[in-house]
Amino acid sequence: MMQDHLVVSDDSNHPANMVCSLSRQFYEKEWCVGTGGSIAIRDEETGFCYLAPSGVQKELLKPQDLFVLDGNSKEQDVYLRKPAGLKLSDCTPIFQMLFQNFNAGAIIHTHSPNAVLTSLLYDDVFEISHIEQIKALPSERVNAETGKPVNLLFEDTLKIPIIDNQNFEYELTDGLQEMCQKWPHGCAVLVRRHGIFVWGPSITKAKIYNESIDYLLGLAIKMHQLGIPTVKKN
Amino acid sequence: MMQDHLVVSDDSNHPANMVCSLSRQFYEKEWCVGTGGSIAIRDEETGFCYLAPSGVQKELLKPQDLFVLDGNSKEQDVYLRKPAGLKLSDCTPIFQMLFQNFNAGAIIHTHSPNAVLTSLLYDDVFEISHIEQIKALPSERVNAETGKPVNLLFEDTLKIPIIDNQNFEYELTDGLQEMCQKWPHGCAVLVRRHGIFVWGPSITKAKIYNESIDYLLGLAIKMHQLGIPTVKKN
Amino acid sequence: MMQDHLVVSDDSNHPANMVCSLSRQFYEKEWCVGTGGSIAIRDEETGFCYLAPSGVQKELLKPQDLFVLDGNSKEQDVYLRKPAGLKLSDCTPIFQMLFQNFNAGAIIHTHSPNAVLTSLLYDDVFEISHIEQIKALPSERVNAETGKPVNLLFEDTLKIPIIDNQNFEYELTDGLQEMCQKWPHGCAVLVRRHGIFVWGPSITKAKIYNESIDYLLGLAIKMHQLGIPTVKKN
Amino acid sequence: MMQDHLVVSDDSNHPANMVCSLSRQFYEKEWCVGTGGSIAIRDEETGFCYLAPSGVQKELLKPQDLFVLDGNSKEQDVYLRKPAGLKLSDCTPIFQMLFQNFNAGAIIHTHSPNAVLTSLLYDDVFEISHIEQIKALPSERVNAETGKPVNLLFEDTLKIPIIDNQNFEYELTDGLQEMCQKWPHGCAVLVRRHGIFVWGPSITKAKIYNESIDYLLGLAIKMHQLGIPTVKKN
């Protein structure tokens, strides 16, 4: 069941190519070293989900290494493609939950050092306000016409919930789902002493959210070191 | 109105190519992540202004994504080229003001973390003196013969005004203009909790100013952490 | 005795090519600047050992610069290939000891700044617990069936012994051997004020261990600066 | 007087190519931003000296931009090649002094932030001991047979003198010469609030010295922040 045609494409924007090129880029940022981290993309047109395997050096990922799951099926585990000799990511139940219940088009999971450090500086929620870059992230408000979330304003406060880590990644699924229900327009959850999950309606949005959040987490750590609160009192 | 001939060129120094290659370079420096930041160049020969669009991943920018504005026209908004499906940068009024009133040949806007952090450590003006790199930046003095500003000396003090951020970038136009009038030979304004605008008579000069300033801001933050004042008393 | 066929191959996974490409990558990370650091790989199939020479810029290493040692021989110094004009690494006795006595398939030695700084913050053992990335590293436990070490769990504590530096690298051999006997399933030893040795059953494993450890050392230094202990009390 | 044949070569080790490739590399390290820094190489065979011009973006340097000076001439300023429209580096008198009086084969001048910060943390001399990387640098001792300096041992102390900056780079010549006379086997002088000059018998040695020193300066700053003295009492 190799089904290579599902993952081999000349188009650099094909989900299989995007998983690989972004994994390489994230490795360079030290977000995915030592086989850590994972990316999953649901193709909007076909509903097929492309998943990185477990325990593989992310900077060396090839399209042929990817699992493809039928995202249209009601059943959880209908695989259209299973690469020989590779294991599914432990994050797969989390990815499926986000695809099915929260309309995610793509999910990025990293071990970003900024995420790990921030999770040690805040209790239940990371908060930052009055920084221009938060305008790249969705708010809890929706556009009256489209029903889609609008982005944060400069004076808003970005909030990202933090959940405690578990021994196995699949054990994080319930905790993440609970946070998604509590923050229905959120796009990220920090996992204490572990890293972060970021998602969006498309891989482009998820990537923009992820790098904007990492920029803000890095800034927050430096503000902490300089004694500057990350939420500004008006 | 695609007018591709205005932006397609084999010359790597063509303004449209420079906007794209520098955007990629600035993304790598984490100055323009999450679609942030923007570059605008006025072609000295033709007077045409090349503007990056809004909300686009800056590292993926292509010449075909650029707006071209007729910088020779007295009217503000004569577009020679509008790429389909893209929006003008919110910074456009700022770019136009700097092109028209202050003879800028190019403007660089970034969300540099060093700029954001510095804007939190200083009140109205960032100041640094007695660092060799300030010699890459223009002073308030002009050459008696040419009337052009001469660069700072080692013992001079570089001053960059800081203005407060607004909810929308176009709302920064007046504040920036005021600072340009107060510092007629300046080349930069910091925007608190947002980033920086840097300009110069050409894109080469603007790039040299921008990277020299970022080097100095980075140094200033570390000097602050080490308890060393950035302005040396003689 | 050039024996170029031992080191020239089109296969990017050939040990000679891996030593060179990883050396280049490690130079970029500032782990191997100024000719520092070294990589050695034992080819599982042939038993031949590929060793980087001494005093050479690691980012410029070519396959033709490598020594090849017969790892099948009972005698210590049976060289199948000695490149003209180059010297063996001072680490060679350490590499041989790890190949012969501890079944190493590959060894990475770097002057990582994170390793040097950590060796100044801890006495005899570096310890960190409750960080997801430690799951990429082997524990002291073995799989009952295979007898191979299993990886650490999130709640485990990673321990890396620290030995004092000596004037010459070969003088570190006994100290390293002692630590390997004490921690038979360990994969790394820190050398105070010097750097780190990391090994594994293959170069892929050694690389994954090395970059995971460096990630953890970097995190530990920042946790130290933020006043957060690296071992969490339950 | 273009004399392009002096600078155009297919050999990546040709001095003109080395000046350009290293300038690009140093720019990436933030050692030569905003046109700062300079490299000069004396070809051992011909005695010709290759000098980078002033005020040029170092990452864009082309062989055709280089000045070539006849290093065999007793007179100071015999130029074999002067590129049209470019100015000699202000460092030229320093380079000539080091070539003529101290047998330098190559000189590297950078505005390394680590050099600037270190020059603010130490008075007259930067000192560090008991760090493995200092073994990449020459000591004050010479080999009894060859008369050439031998490298530092682990337990030695690396000392780099610091001189005060002047308004113009050529004014540093006397201060640098004085330090070279005082430390005849030294390979570097720090210039306070400015950067560093590093030299060696060849460009390879100078590059190795420069990057080893920068590694040590970076380490020293972090040791300072962690409260660890850079010279270890035995």
Three-state SS letters, C58-127: HHHCCHHHCEEEECCCCCCCCEEECCCCCCECCCHHHHHHHHHHHCCCEEEEECCHHHHHHHHHCCCEEE
Strand segments, DSSP code E, in chain A are 38-42, 48-51, 67-70, 79-81, 106-110, 125-129, 138-142, 149-151, 157-163, 188-191, 195-200
Beta-carbon separation of B57 and A153 below 8 A: no
Question: Which two structure tokens, joined as six digits, stand for C110?
Answer: 């770097």
Burial class, C2, CB count within 10 angstroms (exposed 0-12 / middle 13-18 / buried 19+): exposed
Place of tokens 């992230």: A137
Alpha-carbon distance B116 to B165, whole Å?
Answer: 11
pLDDT of residue C1: 59
Interface residue C116 vs chain D (CB under 8 A): yes
CB D220 within 8 A of CB D116: no
Question: Which two structure tokens, joined as six digits, stand for A161?
Answer: 């919930």
A218 neighbourhood in chain B, CB within 8 Å = 113
Q: Compute the nearest-CA separation of B28 from chain A (Å).
A: 10
Beta-carbon separation of D212 and C121 below 8 A: no
CB D209 within 8 A of CB D188: yes
Question: In the structure, what pLDDT confidence band is assigned to residue A123 with cuts at 50, 70 and 90?
Answer: very high
Beta-carbon separation of B212 and D166 below 8 A: no
Does the pLDDT of residue D190 top 90, yes or no? yes
Q: At what angle do helices A15-28 and A203-225 cross, to 10 degrees?
A: 10
Alpha-carbon distance A224 to B211, whole Å?
Answer: 26
Interface residue D58 vs chain B (CB under 8 A): no
Q: What percentage of residues in chain A have a pLDDT greater than 70?
A: 99
Beta-carbon separation of D133 and C120 below 8 A: no
Give Cα separations from D180 to B164, D167, D205 (angstroms): 50, 21, 17
Q: What is the largest CA-CA distance in chain C?
A: 60
Tell me if residue D139 falls in helix, strand or coil: strand
B223 neighbourhood in chain D, CB within 8 Å = 117, 120
Q: For B147-192, how does the pLDDT look when each residue is reduced to its tens digit (9 = 90+)?
A: 888 999 999 999 999 999 999 999 999 999 999 999 988 999 999 9
List, edge to edge, every strand of the sheet that includes A67-70.
Answer: A79-81, A67-70, A48-51, A38-42, A106-110, A195-200, A188-191, A157-163, A125-129
Name residues whose C-beta falls within 8 Å of residue B158's C-beta, 6 or more positions apart in sequence.
B126, B127, B128, B129, B134, B137, B152, B216
DSSP secondary-structure letter at A216?
A: H
pLDDT of residue C59: 97
Question: In the structure, what pLDDT confidence band is assigned to residue A1 with cuts at 50, 70 and 90?
Answer: low
Task: Tell me how far the alpha carbon of residue D24 is from its chain's centroid.
Answer: 15
pLDDT of residue D201: 96
Q: At what angle do helices D203-225 and D113-121 cross, to 10 degrees?
A: 50
pLDDT mean across residues, chain D:
95
Question: Which two structure tokens, joined as six digits, stand for A35?
Answer: 């086989």
The residue of C26, C32, C33 whose CB has the most chain D CBs within 10 angstroms, and thus the best one to mutate to test that interface, is C33
Q: What is the largest CA-CA distance in chain A?
A: 60
Bridge-partner residues for D106, per DSSP? Answer: D41, D200
Q: Compute the nearest-CA separation of C79 from chain A (Å).
A: 33
Interface residue C33 vs chain D (CB under 8 A): yes
Alpha-carbon distance A227 to A173, whole Å?
Answer: 35
Is B14 annotated in a binding site? The answer is no
DSSP secondary-structure letter at D124?
A: S
Alpha-carbon distance A32 to A56, whole Å?
Answer: 10
Does the pLDDT of residue A82 top 70, yes or no? yes
Alpha-carbon distance A68 to A7, whole Å?
Answer: 8
CB A184 within 8 A of CB A172: no
Which H, E and C letters describe chain C, residue by residue? CCCHHHCCCCCCCCHHHHHHHHHHHHHHCCCCCCCCCEEEEECCCCCEEEECECCCCHHHCCHHHCEEEECCCCCCCCEEECCCCCCECCCHHHHHHHHHHHCCCEEEEECCHHHHHHHHHCCCEEEEECCHHHHHCEEEEECCCCCCEEECCCCCEEEEEEECCCCCHHHHHHHHHHHHHHCCCCCEEEECCCEEEEEECCHHHHHHHHHHHHHHHHHHHHHHHCCCCCCCCC
The answer to whether the complex's ipTM is over 0.90 is yes
Task: Tell me how far the alpha carbon of residue B25 is from its chain's centroid.
Answer: 15
pLDDT mean across residues, chain B:
95
Is A224 annotated in a binding site? The answer is no
Residue of A154, A215, A228 lying closest to B113 (CB–CB): A215
Q: Compute the nearest-CA separation of C232 from chain A (Å).
A: 11
* Type of residue at A180: C
Helix/strand/coil percentages in chain B, nearest 5:
35, 25, 40
pLDDT mean across residues, chain A:
95
Alpha-carbon distance B22 to B25, whole Å?
Answer: 5
Is A109 annotated in a binding site? The answer is yes
DSSP secondary-structure letter at A91?
A: T
Q: Compute the nearest-CA separation of C220 from chain D (Å).
A: 13
Q: Which of B132, B140, B171, B211 is catalytic?
A: B132
In chain B, whose CA is at the least distance from the CA of A132?
B194
Question: In the structure, what pLDDT confidence band is assigned to residue D1 with cuts at 50, 70 and 90?
Answer: low
Beta-carbon separation of C218 and A166 below 8 A: no
Question: Which two structure tokens, joined as six digits, stand for C192?
Answer: 């105070």
Task: Find the length of chain A.
Answer: 234
Interface residue A166 vs chain C (CB under 8 A): yes
Domains of chain D and any CATH numbers: 4-225 (3.40.225.10)
Beta-carbon separation of A120 and C204 below 8 A: no
Does the pLDDT of residue B138 top 90, yes or no? yes
Beta-carbon separation of B117 and A222 below 8 A: yes
Question: In the structure, what pLDDT confidence band is assigned to residue A76 with cuts at 50, 70 and 90?
Answer: confident
Tell me how many residue pairs between chain C and chain D have CB atoms under 8 A apart.
Answer: 62
B25-53: average pLDDT: 97
Task: Tell me how far the alpha carbon of residue C12 is from its chain's centroid.
Answer: 20
In chain A, whose CA is at the least distance from the CA of C217?
A113
Bridge-partner residues for C197, per DSSP? Answer: C109, C189
Beta-carbon separation of C193 and D225 below 8 A: no
pLDDT of residue D102: 93
Interface residue C36 vs chain D (CB under 8 A): yes
Does the pLDDT of residue A137 top 90, yes or no? yes
Lowest pLDDT segment from A63-77, A173-187, C112-126, D183-197: A63-77
Q: Which of the residues of C are catalytic?
A: 132
List chains adjacent to chain C, taking adjacency as at least 3 C-beta pairs closer than 8 Å: A, D
List chains adjacent to chain B, taking adjacency as at least 3 C-beta pairs closer than 8 Å: A, D
Beta-carbon separation of B165 and A132 below 8 A: yes
pLDDT of residue B76: 74
C221-228: average pLDDT: 97
Does the pLDDT of residue B228 top 70, yes or no? yes
C41 backbone dihedrals φ, ψ, rounded to 5°: -130, 135
Lowest pLDDT segment from A120-134, C49-63, D76-90: D76-90
Q: Compute the nearest-CA separation of C85 from chain A (Å).
A: 35
Interface residue C215 vs chain A (CB under 8 A): yes
How do B195-200 and B138-142 pair as beta strands?
A: unpaired
Beta-carbon separation of D131 and C116 below 8 A: yes
Q: For C48-81, how does the pLDDT look when each residue is reduced to its tens digit (9 = 90+)?
A: 999 999 999 999 999 999 999 999 988 878 999 9
CB B21 within 8 A of CB B60: no
The residue of A133, A187, A221 whose CB has the most chain B CBs within 10 angstroms, and thus the best one to mutate to test that interface, is A133
pLDDT of residue C226: 95
Q: For D116-155, how does the pLDDT look when each residue is reduced to its tens digit (9 = 90+)?
A: 999 999 999 999 999 999 999 999 999 999 988 899 999 9
D78-102: average pLDDT: 94
Q: For C75-105, how does the pLDDT look when each residue is reduced to its tens digit (9 = 90+)?
A: 878 999 999 999 999 999 999 999 999 999 9
B136 neighbourhood in chain D, CB within 8 Å = 34-36
CA angle B16, B17, B18 (to 5 degrees): 90
Does the pLDDT of residue C148 top 90, yes or no? no
pLDDT of residue A74: 80
A51 backbone dihedrals φ, ψ, rounded to 5°: -125, 130
A149-166: average pLDDT: 97
CB C116 within 8 A of CB C193: yes
A209 backbone dihedrals φ, ψ, rounded to 5°: -60, -50
pLDDT of residue C47: 95
Does the pLDDT of residue A212 top 90, yes or no? yes
pLDDT of residue B1: 59
Question: In the structure, what pLDDT confidence band is assigned to residue B233 with cuts at 50, 70 and 90?
Answer: confident
Q: Compute the nearest-CA separation of C75 from chain D (Å).
A: 30
pLDDT of residue D162: 98
A35-48: average pLDDT: 96
Alpha-carbon distance D38 to D203, whole Å?
Answer: 13
D171 backbone dihedrals φ, ψ, rounded to 5°: -70, -10
Q: For D212-224, how does the pLDDT look when each residue is reduced to its tens digit (9 = 90+)?
A: 999 999 999 999 9
Rg (CA), chain A: 17
Burial class, B20, CB count within 10 angstroms (exposed 0-12 / middle 13-18 / buried 19+): buried
Question: Which two structure tokens, joined as six digits, stand for D30?
Answer: 């933030």
Does the pLDDT of residue B118 top 90, yes or no? yes
Which H, E and C letters describe B89-155, residue by residue? CCCHHHHHHHHHHCCCCEEEEECCHHHHHHHHHCCCEEEEECCHHHHHCEEEEECCCCCCEEECCCC
* Type of residue at D156: D
Alpha-carbon distance D116 to B226, whole Å?
Answer: 13
Beta-carbon separation of D111 and B132 below 8 A: yes
Question: Which two structure tokens, joined as six digits, stand for B226?
Answer: 């080490």
The residue of D116, D119, D221 whose CB has the most chain B CBs within 10 angstroms, and thus the best one to mutate to test that interface, is D116
Tell me if residue D158 falls in helix, strand or coil: strand
pLDDT top residue among C2 and A160: A160
